[in-house]
Amino acid sequence: MPKKNIYLILLSLGTALWGISFSVTKLAVQESSLYIFLFYRFSLATVILCACFYKYFKETSSESLLGGVKLALPLTAGIMLQTLGLKYLPASQCTFIAGICVVMVPVLKWGVYKMSVSAKIWIASLVALAGLCIISVSDTFTINQGAIYTILGTFGFSMYLILVEKQATKGNIITTVVPMFAACTVLSLCFAVTEPAGSWVPANNNFWMAVIYCAVFTTAFMYTVSMMAQKYIPAERVAIIYLFEPVFGAIAAFFILNEDLSWRLFIGGGLILAATFVAELNIKNMGFRKGIRTNKIS
């Protein structure tokens, strides 16, 4: 089986794991410090990855170290902001808002790297924006601060996807995995120490179960697979594979957190899913995809 197809399967599996992680994380940070939670999550993931990729240490160069740090900045910001959003917003809503990265990636490529974007992507962006407004804006026309945090986190994650694609063209992406998560650990530690009231050893089983689940499945496994996959799959296609993450996330929130699936979630989430389908239907002919093959990001 071609490597591209193998990574497509692994990414699809990871999408389900990722969707479930929103509910698992919400249980962990409801009564505990999210920064301490992220510190443990990244620390354990780094240890696991060191054990898995130790043979690549001798291939790690200063460029790999620097590349890992550069990737860690938007990734840490994205995860941190989305986790913060979970404190104020239902997990089911967070998963759908996070889904707008599908249309955000190509739009950011257009804005940052001047790559052309087809009309369908702009239409998809408007449809996704409409869905986002239905989910995020209340009857009194106010926006929950959790929605703002999640949107900003999605922006950070979208930038991370684009930078991973850029880094993958420079050499062996595996050598940047451990430095990236080590940098994420340090960054989260810097925030964790600013919370003097936070408990470093919470007496909460949900906290430790979430640390293990997120470190193993959604951090060490999923982010490594997504990074390696982008050597064979463009960033916007990777984002589209994440299409069903909100679906798994909403189902998990219903069963794990007993969250109500409101009409806003169904209509707004449906529009966001429709927007991603619009992007997927046109992906083989989109101008920005063509640009990826002809224009190297510098």
Predicted TM-score (pTM) of this structure = 0.80
pLDDT at residue 229 tops 70: yes
Contact (CB, 8 A) for 184 and 227 = no
Assign 13 a pLDDT band (cuts: 50, 70, 90).
confident
Domain that holds residue 46: 3-294
Please count the structural domains in the chain: 1
Question: How many residues can be counted in the chain?
Answer: 298
Assign 289 a pLDDT band (cuts: 50, 70, 90).
very low
How do residues 247-267 score in pLDDT, each as one tens digit?
888 888 888 888 877 777 788
How do residues 206-228 score in pLDDT, each as one tens digit?
999 999 999 999 888 887 787 77
Please state the rounded mean pLDDT for residues 31-49: 93
